[in-house]
Amino acid sequence: MEGTDGSLSPWERVRVRGGGSLHLALMPVKGEGPAGTRLVRPQSSDAHPSLSGRRQCGAIGRAAPSWKPGMTCRKKALLTASLSLFTLAADAAIQSWARKIIIDCVYPNLTVLDRHDSRGGETVMSQVRLGKLAASVGLFCAVTLWLAMTSRPAMAGEAPRSVNKLTIAMDGWGSDMIDPWEYPQPSFIQSYLNLRLVTRDEHMRVQPLWAIEWSQNEHGIDIKLTPQAVCQNGEKADAHALKTNLQGMMGLIEGFKGGLYAGKFKGVIEAIEVHGDHHAFIKTKTPDPGAFPLLGGHNYNQIWYGPAQYLQKVGHQEYVKNPIGCGPYKIKEYRPGDRVVFERWEEFWSDYPYWPKPQHKIMEWLKAPDGAARYALLASRQVDMAINLPYAIAKDLPHSEDTERGVNPKKGPFWTQTLKANGKMQVAFDLEMALKEGKADPNVWGNDPTLNPKVREALALAIDKQAILNSGYGFLLPNESIYSLGSYGWRKERAEQRAPYDPKRAKELLAEAGYPNGFETTAHFAEFAGRPNQREAMDIIASNWKAIGVTVKVVEHDPFKYYADQDAGKRAYLPINEWTWGRQENGIFIAQTAYSSKGFRSLYNERTDALVQELSKTLDERKQLQLMAEIEEEVFRNRWIIPLYDASAVYGYTDRVLQHSMPEFGAHFLDLNRILLRD
């Protein structure tokens, strides 16, 4: 299904198989989901989840053969193709099994669609029926071509079942606060200590974690949880735990202030109903399509769920001293802002291949804010991995994308992979909002040049964005949109418009605005973890503005304090900011948070408020896309932002690392427990 702008439908739809035919359709998954869509994800049952050296091939149907130990995805695929051809797929179980193999091994972005089983017989999308012979021959040809064209990745046999330690040099991990009910900013530590409802695999497909089924309608969100989930203290992660966690995040439990999204959840959630041990229903005040992408954790890592009974028993202060989670790691040692040592939880309950128990017993994070220092640690083999390598260094190292993404290409002692478009960069003018919110003194700021739209236009025209892109050695991606590149709501025709660079016209606009000789101003920024090149961009911008007579004092801040202040609504840094937004797979979050008076770090007027309010009440995809486009046009009409680029993060590895399965595009910080190492 396509949106009105030609973008792909935002949810991968997987229907429970009934008696109808199975259908295949090429549909890369982007974004989140419409009303009434239920996703059901059966767990993979074949290979050991932490020791796969390549993508796993599943088996469905009771007649599917069992694999010999160590049989690779290639061998399985070839066997499947041959068997399918020789039998002409006469057996239904063989047909089903063959389809599964080609989906998992040949076309990992294929979505399995079944006939819509609601009354009226409407189909999800146009159906393609393949005859037995055509399917068999097509499968054989496709697998043969795939085998011929793909290179061999690192062998699974190289990865022992367990290794002692993985050490990583980090540029940062967000907030140091590890209480899942009380944090001012996202903390990537939580992704390894605690739970999310759902996640994404290395192909960016939405997959279950704690939740195994979910759907949304006009009344609320229905969630079914896996009965396997338990926390490290033995308490059950059930529907009551989900309810208590949400209450804690909203600040409704004594002793807890609530988290960053307390206000958002209070505005959306009317009640949380427990319908069974593993079944909850979140009754919503409106059918807000932005609610579940945030609650689920698959839009961007921002919400986590912890051991509810333990949190209530010990309270915030004691939890911070003695944290217990429900995820794949325990915290063995923690020095905020400096070092984290994780220990593998041996009884970790998940057998999902995309969220396995780690191969390594210990994972140590060392904070090294300087990029050259992180590379020095990698080059001296004091660490196995370095997060966010400087682009000038990364460009000369072997890239796994040249052979097989995320697999050691074996071209030297070090290698890299790049997580593209993991964060948006933009110049923002929020003085107008600070004045109307009473957070800026009109006697000081009431006549500031940046309040004039012509000045903001001039500043935009003066920026040489191509020079900024060139400073990133190809790792920065142009994106003239308020939404993340390729996300739900992103419009290709808008985002790929060439940004004008016209210093002459910029000077004319300044003169028309009453500043023929320019002016002096201040710009603020903080380099958040995983969002490189902000200093370089600000240097270029300052030089560009100097050329038209605008002298700017650039002030760099501590990233945690800077964004905590911004997101708390303090408007403490005026009049110009360079802001970053982490990649949001669903642009509804950006619309609701960044361009509404009810959001934070927001730029808005009555028009955007009305559009966001309407967006927050519809589950119709076409309407959502239309409203998101209108919001975007209003933002650019007012010239509140100057989009700069979407940043990419380069991850560096020593040759001890055999594999790290990550998607090509995604939000920084992704699944270190998937890493495979040799001894």
Query: What tens digit of pLDDT does each residue of 467-504 get?
Result: 999 999 999 999 999 999 999 999 999 999 999 999 99
Provide the pLDDT for residue 77: 47
Q: Check which CATH number belongs to the domain holding 191 and give it.
A: 3.90.76.10
H or E element that contains 640: none
Domain stops at, among 269, 296, 326: 326
**Does the structure show a pLDDT above 60 at 515?**
yes
Residue 92 binned pLDDT confidence (cut-offs 50, 70, 90) = very low
Q: Based on the domain organization, do 138 and 71 belong to the same domain?
A: yes
Provide the pLDDT for residue 210: 97
The answer to whether residue 340 sits within a structural domain is no
Provide the pLDDT for residue 184: 80
Higher pLDDT, 385 or 583: 385
Q: Where are the alpha helices (DSSP H) in 427-533?
A: 431-436, 442-445, 453-461, 465-470, 492-495, 503-512
Provide the pLDDT for residue 668: 65
Domain stops at, among 303, 326, 349: 326
Provide the pLDDT for residue 86: 39
The answer to whether residue 347 sits within a structural domain is no
Provide the pLDDT for residue 154: 45
203: tokens are 């192909």
Domain stops at, among 326, 350, 369: 326
**Number of structural domains in the chain:** 3
Q: Based on the domain organization, do 124 and 192 belong to the same domain?
A: no
The answer to whether residue 350 sits within a structural domain is no
312: tokens are 């209530």
Residue 157 binned pLDDT confidence (cut-offs 50, 70, 90) = low
Q: Based on the domain organization, do 140 and 106 belong to the same domain?
A: yes
Residue 409 binned pLDDT confidence (cut-offs 50, 70, 90) = very high
199 touches 297 (CB < 8 A):
yes
Residues 625-652 have pLDDT tens digits of: 999 999 999 999 999 999 999 999 999 9
Q: Based on the domain organization, do 133 and 226 belong to the same domain?
A: no
**Does the structure show a pLDDT above 50 at 130?**
no
Q: Based on the domain organization, do 226 and 259 belong to the same domain?
A: yes
Q: Based on the domain organization, do 107 and 148 belong to the same domain?
A: yes
Q: Which of 13, 103, 93 is nearest to 55 (CA)?
A: 103
- Mean of the per-residue pLDDT values of the chain: 81
Provide the pLDDT for residue 42: 36
Q: Based on the domain organization, do 35 and 83 belong to the same domain?
A: yes
576 touches 522 (CB < 8 A):
yes
Q: Based on the domain organization, do 92 and 191 belong to the same domain?
A: no
The answer to whether residue 495 sits within a structural domain is yes
User: In terms of residue numbers, what domain contains 271?
Assistant: 178-326
Average pLDDT over residues 296-314: 91
Residues 308-355 have pLDDT tens digits of: 999 999 999 999 999 999 999 999 999 998 999 999 999 999 999 999
Residues 177-189 have pLDDT tens digits of: 889 999 887 888 9
**Does the structure show a pLDDT above 60 at 556?**
yes
β-sheet bridge partners, residue 113? 23
Higher pLDDT, 593 or 118: 593
Q: Based on the domain organization, do 193 and 115 belong to the same domain?
A: no
**Does the structure show a pLDDT above 50 at 525?**
yes
Provide the pLDDT for residue 467: 97
What pTM was computed for the model? Answer: 0.78
The answer to whether residue 661 sits within a structural domain is no
The answer to whether residue 402 sits within a structural domain is no
H or E element that contains 552: strand 550-556
Q: Check which CATH number belongs to the domain holding 425 and give it.
A: 3.10.105.10
**Does the structure show a pLDDT above 50 at 507?**
yes
Instruction: Label residues 481-501 b or e (16+ Cβ within 10 Å = b).
Output: bbbbbbbbbbbeebbeeebeb
The answer to whether residue 333 sits within a structural domain is no
Q: Based on the domain organization, do 141 and 226 belong to the same domain?
A: no
Residue 107 binned pLDDT confidence (cut-offs 50, 70, 90) = very low
Q: Based on the domain organization, do 90 and 230 belong to the same domain?
A: no
**Does the structure show a pLDDT above 70 at 406?**
yes
**Does the structure show a pLDDT above 50 at 12?**
no
Provide the pLDDT for residue 223: 98
Angle at 651 between CA 537 and CA 361, to 5 degrees: 140
Q: Based on the domain organization, do 205 and 59 belong to the same domain?
A: no
Provide the pLDDT for residue 413: 97
The answer to whether residue 667 sits within a structural domain is no
Half-sphere exposure of 132 (CA within 13 A, CB side): 12
